[in-house]
Chains A and B, each alone.
Chain A
Amino acid sequence: MTTQTTAPETPGTPAAPAPAGLIGIPPHVGRALAVGGGALTIISTFMSWTWTSAFPGDLTVYGYPGGLQVLVLIGGVLTTLFALAGYGVKGLKYVVPSGGDAALKFAALAAFATAWYTVIAISVELGGVVNLDPGGYIVAIATLAAFVGALALPFEHPAPDPIDPDDSAWEQFKNRSSHKWETVKTAFSARPPRPVGKLPTYVEILVIAVVMALGLLVFTYGIGTQYDELFVGFLITAGFGFAALNKSGLVAQATEITSRHQTITVWGAFIAAALFPFTQTDDQYATIGVYILIFATVALGLNIVVGLAGLLDLGYVAFLGVGAYAAALVSGSPSSPFGVHFPFWAAVLVGAAASLTFGVLIGAPTLRLRGDYLAIVTLGFGEIFRITANNLDGTSGPDLTNGSNGISSIPDLNILGWDLGATHDILGFAIGRFANYFLLMLLITAVVVLVFRRSSDSRIGRAWVAIREDETAALAMGINGFRVKLIAFAVGASLAGLAGTVQAHVTYTVTPEQYQFAGPIPPNSAFLLAAVVLGGMGTIGGPLIGASLLYLIPNKLQFLGDYQLFAFGVALILLMRFRPEGLVANRRRQLEFHEEAEAPTVLSKTGA
Chain B
Amino acid sequence: MTTDTTTQGTTPGATAPGQVVLDARGVTMRFGGLTAVRNVDLTVNSGEIVGLIGPNGAGKTTFFNCLTGLYIPTEGEVRYKDAVLPPKSFKVTAAGIARTFQNIRLFANMTVLENVLVGRHTRTKEGFWSAVLRLPGFHRAENASRDRAMELLEFVGLASKADHLARNLPYGEQRKLEIARALASEPGLLLLDEPTAGMNPQETRATEELVFAIRDMGIAVLVIEHDMRFIFNLCDRVAVLVQGEKLVEGDSATVQGDERVIAAYLGEPFDGSPGDDEAAEVDAAEVHADAPRDAAPGKENDR
User: Which residues of chain A have a CB within 8 Å of any CB of chain B?
Assistant: 450-451, 454-455, 457-463, 465-466, 469-470, 472-481, 487, 491, 588-589, 591-592, 601-604, 606
Chain A residues with CB below 8 A from B128, complex form: 455, 460, 487, 491
Chain B minimum-CB-distance residue to A591: B165
B163 and A469 contacting across the interface, CB-CB below 8 Å: no
Check if A473 sits within 8 Å of B101, measured CB to CB: yes
Nearest chain A CB to B277 CB, angstrom units: 49
Contact between B131 and A461 (Cβ–Cβ < 8 Å)?
A: yes
Judge whether B110 and A455 touch: CB under 8 Å.
Answer: no
Q: A459-B124, A462-B117 are in contact. Are A601 and B165 (CB under 8 A)?
A: yes
Given known pairs A469-B110, A606-B111, the reply for A477 and B138 (CB within 8 Å) is no
Are A606 and B163 CB-contacts (below 8 A) given A454-B131, A470-B107?
yes
Asked if B134 is at the interface (CB within 8 A of a chain A CB), the reply is: yes
Place the interface of chain B in its size category. 35 or more
| A454 and B132 contact, Cβ closer than 8 Å, known pairs A459-B126, A606-B114 | yes
Cβ contact of B109, chosen from A457, A458, A463, A591, cutoff 8 A: A591
In the complex, the answer to whether A455 meets B107 with C-beta atoms within 8 Å is no
**Chain B residues packing against A (C-beta within 8 Å):** 68, 70, 88-90, 93-94, 98-99, 101, 105-111, 113-114, 117-122, 124, 126-128, 130-132, 134, 138, 141-142, 145, 163-165, 167-168, 181-182, 185
**Known A459-B126, A460-B127; contact A478-B165, beta-carbon cutoff 8 A:** no
In the complex, are the beta carbons of B131 and A602 less than 8 A apart? no
Min distance, Cβ B129 to any Cβ of chain A, angstroms: 9
The answer, among B89, B99, B118, B163, for a CB contact under 8 Å with A462, is B118
Nearest-neighbour CB distance to chain A for B163, whole angstroms, equals 5
The answer to whether B118 and A476 have CB atoms under 8 Å apart is: no
Given contacts A477-B93, A604-B163, A606-B114, 11 further A-B contacts (CB under 8 A): A455-B131, A459-B117, A459-B120, A459-B126, A459-B141, A459-B145, A463-B121, A469-B108, A472-B70, A477-B90, A477-B185
Report the minimal beta-carbon distance from A520 to chain B, rounded to whole angstroms: 36
Decide if the interface of chain A is mainly helix, strand, loop or mixed: helix
Instruction: Give the complex CA separation of A20 and B167 in angstroms.
Output: 38
Instruction: Report yes or no: A479 in contact with B118, Cβ–Cβ below 8 A.
Output: yes
Chain A residue at minimum C-beta to C-beta distance from B115:
A466
Residue of B nearest to A458 (CB): B131
Contact A592 B109 (CB under 8 A): yes
* Known contacts A479-B118, A601-B168; A466 and B90 CB within 8 A of each other: no
Known contacts A472-B70, A476-B99, A602-B164, A458 near B107 by CB under 8 Å: no
- The residue that A473 contacts in the complex, of B88, B106, B113, B142, with Cβ under 8 A, is B106
B70 touches A476 (CB 8 A): yes
Q: A455 to chain B: which residues have CB within 8 Å? A: 128, 131-132
* Least distance between B94 CB and chain A CB atoms (Å): 5
The listed residue (B68, B98, B130, B165) touching A603 by CB distance below 8 A is B165
Q: Are B181 and A477 in contact (CB under 8 A)?
A: yes
Q: Are B118 and A463 in contact (CB under 8 A)?
A: yes
The distance in angstroms between the C-alpha atoms of A478 and B123, with both chains bound, is: 9
Partner of A475, one of B89, B120, B141, B165: B89
Chain A contacts for B167, CB-based, 8 A: 591-592
Instruction: Provide the bound-state CA to CA distance between A485 and B278, in Å.
Output: 66
CA of A480 to CA of B114, assembled, Å: 18
How far, in whole Å, are A481 and B122 apart by their CA atoms in the complex?
12
Shortest CB-to-CB span from B281 to chain A, Å, is 53
Report the separation of the CA atoms of residues A462 and B94 in the bound assembly, to the nearest whole angstrom: 17
**Which B residues are CB-close (under 8 A) to A459?**
117, 120-121, 124, 126-127, 131, 141-142, 145
Residues on B with C-beta less than 8 A from A602 are: 163-164
Top 9 A-B residue pairs of the complex, sorted by shortest distance between their CB atoms: A478-B122, A458-B131, A478-B93, A473-B105, A469-B107, A475-B89, A466-B118, A601-B168, A478-B90
Question: Which residue of chain A has the shortest Cβ distance to B146 in the bound complex?
Answer: A606
Of the residues A466, A476, A491, contact of B110 by C-beta under 8 Å: A466
A478 with B127: CB separation less than 8 A: no
Which residues of chain A come closer than 8 Å to B134, judged between CB atoms?
454
The closest CB in chain B to the CB of A592 belongs to: B109
A588 and B165 in contact (CB under 8 A), knowing A470-B105, A477-B119? yes
Q: A451-B132, A454-B131 are in contact. Are A475 and B109 (CB under 8 A)?
A: no
| In the complex, chain A residues whose CB is within 8 Å of the CB of B121 | 459, 462-463, 466, 477-479
Smallest beta-carbon distance A259→chain B, Å = 14
